[in-house]
């Protein structure tokens, strides 16, 4: 297993455009998480899937954000009508037993210009 994969690694987009990120978790992990991290901060929770069910969404996740995990495998995070404040590192993590830790991907660095 190659760990958690995220694509793309970097994305530069113009304000107002839509972007979509993909995460491929470790295949045995049924739980998948999205976090956002800005400079000087720790990761902030965005949303959580157990298999294909989205069980929790942070209030940070505005209506412009949507996440899916069809068939309980890979996940996508879409941001519509991007704003400069959306610029951040978007991290995906997966786990089997979450109390014991996550495996993170390398992240997608989004820059909105």
Partner 1 sequence: TQLLEQSPQFLSIQEGENLTVYCNSSSVFSSLQWYRQEPGEGPVLLVTVVTGGEVKKLKRLTFQFGDARKDSSLHITAAQTGDTGLYLCAGAMMVRLGGSNYKLTFGKGTLLTVNP
Q: Give contact residues for partner 1 (rule: CB under 8 A).
A: 4, 6, 33, 35, 40-45, 48, 50, 55-56, 91, 93, 97-107, 109
**3-state secondary structure at position 16:** coil
Compare residues 20 and 98 and give the one whose CB is closer to partner 1.
Answer: 98
Per DSSP, what are the bridge partners of residue 66?
78
**Least Cβ distance, residue 19 to partner 1 (angstroms):** 19
82 CB-side CA count, 13 A: 20
**3-state secondary structure at position 102:** coil
Given 3-state DSSP classes, what are the helix, strand and coil percentages for the chain, each rounded to the nearest 5? 10, 50, 40
**Least Cβ distance, residue 98 to partner 1 (angstroms):** 4
Compare residues 18 and 38 and give the one whose CB is closer to partner 1.
Answer: 38
**Least Cβ distance, residue 58 to partner 1 (angstroms):** 9
């Amino acid at each position: 297993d190659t760990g958690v994969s995220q694509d793309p690694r970097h994305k530069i987009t113009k304000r107002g455009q839509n972007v979509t990120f993909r995460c491929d978790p470790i295949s045995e992990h049924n739980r998948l998480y999205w976090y956002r991290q800005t400079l000087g901060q720790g990761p902030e929770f965005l949303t959580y899937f157990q298999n294909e069910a989205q069980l929790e969404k942070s209030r940070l996740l505005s209506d412009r954000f949507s996440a899916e995990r069809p068939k309980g495998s890979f996940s996508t995070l879409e941001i519509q009508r991007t704003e400069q404040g959306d610029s951040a590192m978007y991290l995906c993590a997966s786990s089997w037993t979450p109390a014991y830790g996550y495996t993170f991907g390398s992240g997608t660095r989004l820059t909105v210009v």
